[in-house]
Structure 1
Amino acid sequence: MTQHVSQRPRRRRFRLGLIAATVPLLVGGVVAVAIAAPSGHGSGLGADHRRPTGTRQSSAAPTSPAAADPNADCTLVIPADPLTARGLATPYRLTATNPADGPCHEADVDQSAFVQATVYDPATGALSVYDPLVIDQGSRAAVAPVLPKLPSGAVVGIWFGFDADNLTLRSAVPDGLRSAHCVNGLNDSPFSQYAYCDAAQFFVAVNHGIAVHKLAIPALGTAVDGQPCPSTRDFSIVDQDQSDNVTTKYLTTADGRTAQDTPANSSRMAGAAVLANPSDNALLDEFVDPALGCSPWQAKDLATGGKATSLALDEIQAAAHQAAPSALVPLNDPMTVTDNGQSTQKTNLYRAGVDQGALPAGQRPVAYCRDMDTIQTARLKLDYARFAAAPTPDPGADSLLTFLAGRLQGSFVNLGCDHYGLANPISSEQTDDSGVLVSFTFAGTAAATPSSTPSR
Structure 2
Amino acid sequence: SAVPPVVPALPRGAVVGLWFGFNGDTLTLGGSPAALKAGRCVNGLGGSPFGQVAFCGAQTFFDAANKAVQAGKLRIPPLGRAKDGRPCPSVRDFSLVDQDQSDNVTTTYLATRDGRTAQATAANARTLRKPATLANGSDNRLLDAFVDPALGCTPFTAPDATDGGRPTTSLALNELQAAAGQRAPVALVPPGDPMTLVDGKPSPAKTNLYRAGVDQPPLDRRTASTRAYCRSLRTAGLDRLTTDRRLLRAAPSPDDGVALLKFLTDRLRGSLQQLGCTHPAASRHPAAAAEPDPADQAAASDTVRTLETLG
| Kept after mapping to 2: 8 A contact 1:247/1:309 | yes
Counterpart of 2:141 in structure 1 is 282
Alpha-carbon distance in 2 for matches of 1:310, 1:400 = 21
Counterpart of 1:392 in structure 2 is 253
Pairwise CA distance, 1:398? 2.6
Instruction: Label 1:425 to 1:309 Cα distance change in 2 as closer, same or farther (>3 A).
Output: farther
The 5 A counterparts of 1:1-400 are 142-171=2-31, 175-304=34-163, 305-339=165-199, 341-360=201-220, 363-395=224-256, 398-400=258-260
Pairwise CA distance, 1:177? 1.2
Cα distance per residue 1:125-163 (max 9 Å; x no partner) = xxxxxxxxxxxxxxxx73321111112211000011112
Pairwise CA distance, 1:224? 0.2
SS in 1 for 2:28: strand
AA aligned to 1:448 is T
Alpha-carbon distance in 2 for matches of 1:412, 1:326 = 17
Alpha-carbon distance in 1 for matches of 2:43, 2:209 = 8
1:442 aligns with 2:306: yes
Alpha-carbon distance in 2 for matches of 1:176, 1:259 = 25
AA aligned to 1:332 is G
Pairwise CA distance, 1:287? 0.7
Alpha-carbon distance in 2 for matches of 1:174, 1:408 = 38
Alpha-carbon distance in 1 for matches of 2:200, 2:23 = 27
Cα distance per residue 1:273-321 (max 9 Å; x no partner) = 2211333101011111111010111001011111100000000000111
Alpha-carbon distance in 1 for matches of 2:16, 2:29 = 18
- With normalisation by structure 2, the TM-score equals 0.89
AA aligned to 1:442 is T
Pairwise CA distance, 1:166? 2.6
Alpha-carbon distance in 2 for matches of 1:405, 1:390 = 14
| Kept after mapping to 2: 8 A contact 1:251/1:275 | yes
Alpha-carbon distance in 2 for matches of 1:206, 1:350 = 18
Pairwise CA distance, 1:425? 4.7
- With normalisation by structure 1, the TM-score equals 0.61
Instruction: Label 1:256 to 1:226 Cα distance change in 2 as closer, same or farther (>3 A).
Output: same
What is the aligned length?
A: 292
AA aligned to 2:255 is D
| Kept after mapping to 1: 8 A contact 2:191/2:204 | yes
Pairwise CA distance, 1:426? 4.3
| Kept after mapping to 2: 8 A contact 1:142/1:253 | no
Seq. identity, %: 55
1:424 aligns with 2:301: yes
Instruction: Label 1:340 to 1:378 Cα distance change in 2 as closer, same or farther (>3 A).
Output: closer
Instruction: Label 1:196 to 1:229 Cα distance change in 2 as closer, same or farther (>3 A).
Output: same
Cα distance per residue 1:310-334 (max 9 Å; x no partner) = 0000000001111122111111111
| Kept after mapping to 1: 8 A contact 2:105/2:170 | yes
Structure 2 counterpart of 1:414, from 255, 274, 283: 274
AA aligned to 2:292 is Y
| Kept after mapping to 1: 8 A contact 2:277/2:292 | yes
Pairwise CA distance, 1:243? 0.5
SS in 1 for 2:118: strand
| Kept after mapping to 1: 8 A contact 2:93/2:187 | yes
Alpha-carbon distance in 1 for matches of 2:302, 2:248 = 17
SS in 2 for 1:259: strand
Question: Any stretches of 5+ residues in structure 1 without a counterpart?
Answer: 1-140, 428-440, 451-456
AA aligned to 1:337 is L
Alpha-carbon distance in 2 for matches of 1:279, 1:243 = 9
Alpha-carbon distance in 2 for matches of 1:244, 1:264 = 28
Alpha-carbon distance in 2 for matches of 1:156, 1:424 = 44
SS in 2 for 1:300: strand
More helix by share: 2
Pairwise CA distance, 1:337? 1.5
Question: Any stretches of 5+ residues in structure 2 without a counterpart?
Answer: 279-290
Alpha-carbon distance in 2 for matches of 1:363, 1:425 = 24
Counterpart of 1:437 in structure 2 is none
